[in-house]
A = this chain, B = another copy of it.
C-alpha cells in the first residue's frame, strides 16, 4: 500500500484522469483524445474511467467546466479593476479574451466547440457553470452601454451576442488558422475595440 504505483485502487483516479486528459488535449487536441490511451497514461485498465465518468462526453464536459470556472474568474478580475478607466478595461478584456483563446486553443475549442454543444451533449453540470459565464458577458455589456462606451440603442442581450460573437469569431479564425495568424492578434483586437467604441460616440 505504500508504493503508489503498485496498488489496486488508484487512490484518486478521477483527478488523475482529468489532469492527464487536460494535458493531452492541450498537446494534441480534443479529437485525438482516446479513453484507452488516457487509461494507459494513468496506468489503469481501459474501462476503469467508467467508474468515474458515465462516458467520454461526461469527462470532456468536466474539463470544459473547469475551463469556464477559470475564465469566469479571469473575466471578473479584469472587469472589477475599478481603478482603471472603463475604456481601458474594455480594451484589456478584448485582448485577454483573444489571448486566452490563442494560448489554450484546444481547451477553447472544447469549451466553445460543437463537440459538447451541438448535439445537446453538454452535461447539466457543464451548463450550470457555463451559463453564468455567458450571462456575465451580458452584464458587462450592459455596464459598458451605461458607461457610454457602447451604443445604448440595442438591447444588452443582442449587443452582447454581437460583441461576444466578434471575439468568438476572431478566436476561431485564429485557432483554426483561417486567414488570420498570431502575428495579427494585437492589431485585430485594437481594430475591434475601436470599432465598438467609436460606434457609441453621440452624434446629432
Nearest CB of B to A30, in Å: 9
Nearest CB of B to A148, in Å: 14
- Asked if B114 and A162 make an inter-chain contact with CB atoms under 8 angstroms apart, the answer reads no
Give every chain B residue within 8 A of A159 (Cβ-Cβ): 191, 195
Does A9 count as interface, using CB distance less than 8 angstroms?
Answer: no
**Could you tell me the distance between the alpha carbons of A180 and B159 in the complex, rounded to whole angstroms?**
12
Q: How large is the interface on A (under 10, 10 to 19, 20 to 34, 35 or more residues)?
A: 35 or more
- Asked if B134 and A161 make an inter-chain contact with CB atoms under 8 angstroms apart, the answer reads no
Interface residues in A143-198 (C-beta closer than 8 Å to B): 151, 153-155, 158-159, 161-162, 164-173, 175-180, 184, 187-188, 191-192, 194-196, 198
Does A118 count as interface, using CB distance less than 8 angstroms?
Answer: yes
Number of copies: 2
Give every chain B residue within 8 A of A187 (Cβ-Cβ): 155, 158
Nearest CB of B to A169, in Å: 3
Query: What is the chain B residue whose CB lies nearest that of A169?
Result: B169
**Could you tell me the distance between the alpha carbons of A155 and B178 in the complex, rounded to whole angstroms?**
18
Q: Which of A154, A161, A164, A171 has most B Cβ within 10 Å? A: A161
Q: Which residue of B164, B170, B177, B198 contacts A161 across the interface (Cβ within 8 Å)?
A: B170
- Asked if A180 and B161 make an inter-chain contact with CB atoms under 8 angstroms apart, the answer reads yes
Interface residues in A111-139 (C-beta closer than 8 Å to B): 112-114, 117-120, 131, 134
Q: Which residue of B109, B155, B161 contacts A114 across the interface (Cβ within 8 Å)?
A: B109
Does A203 count as interface, using CB distance less than 8 angstroms?
Answer: yes
- Asked if A169 and B165 make an inter-chain contact with CB atoms under 8 angstroms apart, the answer reads yes
**Could you tell me the distance between the alpha carbons of A50 and B50 in the complex, rounded to whole angstroms?**
36
- A residues bordering B, Cβ < 8 Å? 29, 31, 109, 112-114, 117-120, 131, 134, 151, 153-155, 158-159, 161-162, 164-173, 175-180, 184, 187-188, 191-192, 194-196, 198-199, 201, 203
Q: Which 10 A-B pairs have the closest CB atoms?
A: A169-B169, A165-B169, A168-B169, A165-B170, A166-B166, A199-B199, A117-B176, A198-B199, A134-B179, A158-B191
